[in-house]
Amino acid sequence: MLFERIRRTLANPALYAAFARLVGGPRSVETLVREHIRPQPGFKVLDIGCGPAEILAHLGEVDYTGFDLSAEYIEAGRARYGSRARLFCQRVTRDVLPHEPCFDLVMAIGVLHHLTDGEARDLFELARGVLKPGGRLVTLDGCYVEGQSRIARFLLSRDRGEYVRTEEAYRQLAQGTFPDPRLRLRHDLLRIPFTHLVMECERRP
């Protein structure tokens, strides 16, 4: 019951941002951006499941497009960023994106563990279809690993996403579209015990 109330509370953009600052703070986002996302000025970025687009504040001068199903999150992002970001409250599908590959980066931060295997494969296919050659998809999700702390495993089991996976399960999903994904387990992004898996998937020419 407690965790159900927490899940409902996190649907509020302001409370979600406050919670994120409490458990991770800007340092965790800065680490993710610096070490894994690595944006360059002028990059065209597609953010799938962008939430209120908090990460945009850390990306520099990029051309940013975000999609999320939460009207509250999208409105919060529009209020903060105005014309600096194109934010859409709808499901991202191939027919609402440019027909030609045009994105340097696609991000799906905290998304895969909300998707079934079939939906996750569709996301990988969509990302590959809109990435320029050499462009990358970057994902971040909670992950089960051998020997992780009981607290981390308990928190993962209470996550809002129903499809938290093992490292190998995430790898196999990615490899159906991106043959050589780069995976890194991280235990240091939050102030609480938690295991994340970062995947970087490059579209080969």
Kindly give the residue spans of alpha helices, DSSP state H, lying in 51-111: 71-81
Q: What residues of the chain score a pLDDT lower than 70?
A: 1-26
Q: Determine the 3-state secondary structure of 200 from DSSP.
A: strand
Domain 2-202: CATH superfamily, name plus number: Vaccinia Virus protein VP39 (3.40.50.150)
58-104: per-residue pLDDT in tens?
999 999 999 999 999 999 999 999 999 999 999 999 999 988 899 99
pTM (two decimals)? 0.88
Is the Cα torsion angle 63, 91, 26, 185 positive or negative in sign? Answer: negative
Separation between Cα atoms, residue 18 and residue 12, nearest integer Å: 10
Q: Provide the pLDDT for residue 32.
A: 94
Mention every residue, 6+ apart, whose C-beta is less than 8 A from residue 148. 187, 193, 195
Quick one: which of 35, 43, 44 has its CA closest to 65?
44
